[in-house]
Amino acid sequence: MKVNYANFIISAVRPEQFPEDGLPEIGLAGRSNVGKSSLINRMINRKNLARTSSTPGKTQHLNYYRINEDLYFVDFPGYGYAKVSKTQRQVWGKMIEQYLMNREQLRLLLLIIDLRHPPSKDDELMYDWLKHYDLPVCVVATKADKIPRSRWQKHLKIIKDALVLRAGDELIMFSSEVGTGKEELWNVITKHMKD
């Protein structure tokens, strides 16, 4: 995919705010601070279009980024961040759940996981939930630059086994820092855009 331009469109809190042009949407879910927004920036070659931060809980709504006239990335608030109030977490949970269950334009969910660690309970729950609703998932194991290349395969296997990765779901190694996996991930995304 050649990214000619990318724009932030809206930070949506209600379905009425979602874009209405029918372009395919690629959602990004994952633990708070795992690197979802950084991944978007790397995919579109922009330093900080998607707001990133070392403080977890930065992304608070469904943030829509349009790439060319081709697709949207939909950046979700991260889960599993203890300092977010329970009420707030329930509000997000409801919004995300509604989006995942009802959004026809959604073509693929990127489940972002930290390659360095085994998936958390929340990661496992999220994956099972997505599979229960039959959504196509690509697991992206990011921050690969933080561990030596010789250990990559071992870590990938741990993730694959812990999630019980279903046939047809891809697992990609990624680094927003150095760009590992970028082309491979674009290939997966463009394949699903036609579905």
Out of 25, 34, 35, 37, the residue judged to bind Mg ion by CB under 5 A: 37
Give the distance, in angstroms, between the CA of residue 55 and the centroid of all CA atoms in the same chain.
Answer: 18
Tell me how far apart the alpha carbons of residues 160 and 158 are, in angstroms, rounded to a whole number.
6
* Most distant pair of Cα atoms in the chain: their distance: 48
Tell me how far apart the alpha carbons of residues 25 and 53 are, in angstroms, rounded to a whole number.
24
Give one DSSP letter per residue of 28-56, joined into a string: EEEBTTSSHHHHHHHHTT-SSSS---SST
Q: Determine if 63 is a binding residue for Mg ion (CB under 5 A).
A: no
Residue 184, both tokens: 């491979």
Tell me how far apart the alpha carbons of residues 96 and 93 are, in angstroms, rounded to a whole number.
5
Binding mask 126-155 for Mg ion (x = CB under 5 A): ------------------------------
Q: Determine if 113 is a binding residue for ligand GTP (CB under 6 A).
A: no
Tell me how far apart the alpha carbons of residues 171 and 160 are, in angstroms, rounded to a whole number.
8
Q: Please tell me what DSSP assigns to residue 166.
A: P
Tell me how far apart the alpha carbons of residues 155 and 93 are, in angstroms, rounded to a whole number.
29
Q: At closest approach, how far in Å is the CB of 98 from ligand GTP?
A: 19
Q: Determine if 33 is a binding residue for Mg ion (CB under 5 A).
A: no
Q: Which stretch binds ligand GTP (CB under 6 A): 35-43, 100-108, 119-127, 159-167?
A: 35-43
Out of 177, 186, 191, 193, the residue judged to bind ligand GTP by CB under 6 A: 177
Q: Which stretch binds ligand GTP (CB under 6 A): 5-13, 15-23, 147-155, 172-180?
A: 172-180
Q: Determine if 192 is a binding residue for ligand GTP (CB under 6 A).
A: no
Binding mask 38-77 for ligand GTP (x = CB under 6 A): x-------------xxx-xxxx------------------
Q: At closest approach, how far in Å is the CB of 20 from ligand GTP?
A: 25
Half-sphere exposure of residue 150: CA atoms within 13 angstroms, side-chain side: 0
The site for Mg ion (CB under 5 A) is made up of 36-37, 58-59
The site for ligand GTP (CB under 6 A) is made up of 30, 32-38, 52-54, 56-59, 78, 142-143, 145-146, 175-177
